[in-house]
Chain A
Amino acid sequence: MSKDKTLSVGKSRGVHNTLVYMRQHWQLYILFMMPAFLLTIIFRYIPMGGILIAFQEYNPIRGILGSEWVGFEHFSRFLSSPDFLRYLMNTLKLSIFGLLWGFPAPILLAFLLNRIISKGIKQKIQLVLYMPNFISVIVLCGIVRIMLAPTGMINMLLGTQTNFMTMPSAFRTIYIASGIWQGAGWASIIYTAALSNASKDLKEAAVIDGANIVQQIKAVEWPAIKDTVLIQFIMSVGNIMSIGFEKAYALQTDLNLNTSEIISTYVYKKGLLDGDYGFSTAVGLFNTIINVILLVSMNKIVQRMNEGKGI
């Protein structure tokens, strides 16, 4: 087993060692790594090559090599169309407002749960809070549509007959509120876990010292979850442009498109429903690039705050 210890003596020696290692541990490469490697190359990297069609008038019969090149025409067409700003703003608003409302909700829930003394009651509450997480997007949107229909429960309570699903001004509220309804309980688990790590002794000491709840939160509970909150926040910000297709699409109606059409639903409609492959790919690429820029800059910020350690 000493073969590994002679690393980096010389370059040719290093290559030789690597080959020896690979021959001895061939199973690691062939049996363990190969399936994941092939799947990644075929289904992740080959489509990256397909991005070329964003610069083409793609013709499925002629393929990528035979199609006509149009340079940045699709991009300029998208960027100069009046829809561009609307779809971009719809996407950004949906995710930023979603983050502003949706991010604090599970933290608040975790603080509240942490204040429940009886273990049995706490577990029962958690059981209820987690449950909506297991409802599918389609069923969730089905429930939302039923509740908000002109004859649905909400209208009955309000004594009105408003059709919320056709109101562009209601879409974001519906999307975000139903997201909190479904996800806040589940998302609170990670904070609950971090809070239970806050030393019990520390808290008891704080109570004996006569600290009130606000002081306890400041001195004991917040420090316990601060790091988790930071990581979660950074990951959420990094995902701002990758806001999901499935739910937005399932909550769309012909009449609320003004606010509900986001970039991912637009890419789908342009590409797969209208068959405008090149244009759709260009729009998708635009979205991906913004996302990468966001992630890289977020990572930079973290590195600066975290003394050089990124995520």
Chain B
Amino acid sequence: MEKKKKVSEFSKHSAGDKAILLTGYIILGLFIVAIIVPMIYIILASFIDPVTLQNKGLTFDFSKWTITAYKRVLENKQIWVGFGNALLYSVLFTLISVVVTLLAAYPMSRADFKGKGFFNTLFVITMFFGGGLIPTYLLISKLGMLDTIWAILIPGAFSVWNMIIARTYYMGIPADLQEAAEVDGASEMLYFFKILLPVCTPIIATISMWQFVGMWNSYFDAMIYLNSASKQPLQLVLRSILIQSQPEPGMVSDMQSTAERAQLAELLKYATIIISSVPLLIMYPFFQKYFDNGIMAGAVKG
């Protein structure tokens, strides 16, 4: 049905337009193919016997297919430790960060708030200028936060950018709502939690999504601040498998020759990519309805 409609629309165009449209559709098509093909390739390759994969590449001779890579990755403790830590850090970070940011955005959204200019300057400067890597690192170290979860959760908890977005959203809420609350004698706390926040769920969800995905996917802070293997988040575990080609000890150590170990290490990369991507891809459709909200909020000038 849909196709028919499209074709008839298409035939309405002049010859020149048809050429432009066709070129456009081809570019779009190629882009989509470029996204999908590597994904399919990795899914397929993750099931193939390591020796065959290295010598022949993909094969549809199913006798060469195996789930050994998945078994080895999933049986390894470190990947689960990584998942657990990533989940813990992402949830806690999102919670802390969203609370701090939403709270700060409220006074900043009020026309009568005294000191707004001061706080605004104070915050905005940090968007452009900072101490840099080493001074920050030395501070974290002085505070005794090295190799603790706090080094990951606290320093970046307040996001000026997100505060501006939340503030802009609050300012779009009709002022009568607040006036009505004030007449009723509601305190600021009551108004904020009972009246303002409930009508701001779209923006809260959006900011939460950004913070969660951001923390889940990052590795730099964990790399510089955390040393213990037991505290490593998923991305650091993935980094040793995917980037440094050093699988966790238990994953390949039973293989006899170096060549076998190398081949297996290669195969493990494919399975690791799939396993690590599953959780976010499952959550993806849930996030999707907030995409447009978030983008619109981001488009509002600060």
A residues near B (Cβ < 8 Å) are 1, 4, 18, 21-22, 25, 27-29, 31-33, 35-37, 39-40, 42-51, 53, 60, 108-109, 111-113, 115, 117-118, 120-121, 125, 127-132, 134-139, 141-143, 145-147, 149, 151, 153, 156, 181, 184-185, 189-190, 193-194, 212-214, 228, 231, 245-246, 250, 267-268, 271-272, 277, 280-281, 284-285, 287-288, 291-292, 295, 311
User: If A151-B54, A189-B292, A288-B132 touch, does A117 touch B9 (CB 8 Å cutoff)?
Assistant: yes
- Please pick, from B134, B154, B266, the residue contacting A53 in the complex, using a CB distance under 8 A: B134
Cβ-based interface call for B182 (8 A):
yes
The answer on a CB contact under 8 Å between A44 and B130 is: yes
Q: Are A145 and B242 in contact (CB under 8 A)?
A: yes
Residues of B within 8 A of A (CB): 2, 5-6, 9, 13-14, 16-17, 20-21, 24-25, 27-28, 31-32, 34-38, 41-42, 54, 57, 99-101, 103-104, 106-107, 110, 112-115, 119, 122-123, 126, 128-139, 154-158, 163, 182, 187-189, 192, 213, 216-220, 224, 235, 238-239, 241-243, 266, 269-270, 272-273, 276-277, 280-281, 284, 288, 291-292, 295-296, 298-299, 301-302
Tell me how many residue pairs across A and B have CB atoms closer than 8 Å.
253
Interchain CA distance A168-B251 in the complex, whole Å: 32
The 5 closest A-B pairs by CB, nearest first: A50-B135, A47-B131, A142-B242, A284-B132, A36-B104
Contact assessment for B136 and A47 in the assembled complex, using a CB-CB cutoff below 8 Å: yes
- Quick one: given A136-B216, A281-B134, are A131 and B284 in contact (CB under 8 Å)? yes
Cα-based distance from A282 to B106 in the complex (angstroms): 38
The answer to whether B154 touches A43 (Cβ under 8 A) is yes
Tell me the complex Cα distance, A16–B224, Å. 48
B135, A33: Cβ atoms closer than 8 Å: no
* Interchain residue pairs with CB less than 8 A apart (25): A27-B187, A36-B103, A36-B158, A37-B122, A39-B158, A47-B135, A50-B135, A50-B139, A53-B134, A53-B135, A120-B2, A121-B2, A128-B32, A128-B36, A129-B32, A136-B235, A145-B243, A151-B57, A181-B35, A185-B35, A189-B291, A213-B20, A284-B132, A285-B132, A288-B130
B14 touches A131 (CB 8 A): no
CB pair B110 A28 closer than 8 Å: yes
How far does the Cβ of A256 sit from chain B's closest Cβ, in whole Å?
13
